[in-house]
Amino acid sequence: MTSHTENHLYAVVIAGVGTRMFWPLEREARPMPFLDPADMGSLLQGVLHRAEGIVPREHIVLVAGLHAKSLLEGVGELYSEHNLLIEPVWRGTAASVALAAAHVRKLDAEAVLLVIPADHVVHDEEACEAVLRQAVAVASVREAMVVVGIEALRPETGCGYIQKGAELPLPEPETPEGSSHLYAVRAVVEKADYATAVDFISSGDFCWNSGIFITRVDLLLHEFSRWIPELYRDLLSLSEVARTRDFKRVSAEVYAWLHRQSIESCLMEKSKRVVVLTGEFGWAAPCTWDDIIRLKGTSGGDEKEVVLLESEGVFVRKPPGRVVCCIGVSGLIVVDAGDALLICCRGEAGRVPGLLEELKRRGMDEVL
């Protein structure tokens, strides 16, 4: 990464999305990025730490929902009106990226954006930083948006996929030789059903989409204007009032009519200026409590307060001071949030949305 690129590099952290898959810990007022589902610190804390290793704090822009200010109290004294952008309602990652791009463009017309969703964990921080720096280097010399891809180890319906094309030359490597590879992109697929995911894995042509991408802000604006002209016009309106008292009012007006759409479905799947840089750094994007078990086993907290008699394969997550005892059971997930308790069989955590629909039907909004 050249000093010029480094001076114009901004990290955009997307923290507004809530999946509700980690209920009962995850609620409408406390979305997934602010949770610590794997007992490794919150997903947002991990992403912020990662961003701080690459850009100065004043170059980090956090895009989050209405509850962010109160939730950020435990994260640190980093965010102010300068680098905290509040979305009045969640409208998908396309709107989040547009909002951040409008803000950063007003600060720096030569900006390079490192967009990172706060929805994943990383086990090898040093390797992750090296891959991200390599991706930034690629974005600074190519007319392309650089998506970070991850080797697809198994068919996953919760992950996006990228079909790799021809391998492309890398600029002067900042990662160990052979650890990263750059490819043209044949297709971007936001999500796939299980059978399609199996075909993707079997082909050997697909990698997972980490959701992390790097692009020059001027190139991003060009692609917005071509593929999402309506959102591009809104982006220009936001950019005109960025860093003024009118920004909050205009963003509320814009978001009032926006449809929810992801950056993958409305831009990445259509653009011809996407490349993928693959790298391995222990990335995982947990989508359900079953994924948490895959990450760290059945251990879920203070083992002294969890008593299992003739029981095995039981995952327990609970508040401190709560004692949980199980007798003669196996393969269970137990998540206690104090005012709500989830008990399900392992392998069934993906059905949580159906449970939430039933709670809503019964008028139990206080636990949603």
For the record, the structure tokens of 145 come out as 């948006």
Q: What is the pLDDT of residue 63?
A: 93
Q: Give the angle subtended at the CA of 30 by the CAs of 120 and 21, to the nearest 5°.
A: 55
Instruction: Decide which of 358 and 301 is more confident.
Output: 358
What's the predicted TM-score (pTM) here?
Answer: 0.91
Give per-residue pLDDT as tens, 114-156.
Answer: 999 998 999 999 999 999 999 999 999 999 999 999 999 888 8
For the record, the structure tokens of 303 come out as 């083992």
Which pLDDT band, with edges at 50, 70 and 90, does 6 fall under? Answer: confident
Q: What is the pLDDT of residue 81?
A: 62
For the record, the structure tokens of 79 come out as 């965010």
Distance CA 49, CA 188 (A): 28
DSSP state of 259: P
Q: Is the pLDDT of residue 295 over 90?
A: no
Number of H helices, E strands in the chain: 12, 16
The closest alpha carbon to 140, from 18, 8, 269, belongs to 8
Q: Is the pLDDT of residue 108 over 70?
A: yes
Q: Residue for token digits 């104090």?
A: 338
Domains of the chain, residue spans: 3-284, 289-367
Q: Of the spans 231-235, 283-287, 329-333, which averages the highest pLDDT?
A: 329-333
Kind plus residue range of the DSSP H or E element containing 343: strand 341-345
According to the CATH classification, is domain 3-284 in 3.30.450.90?
Answer: no
Q: Give the angle subtended at the CA of 29 by the CAs of 25 and 30, to the nearest 5°.
A: 40
- SS3 category, 137: helix
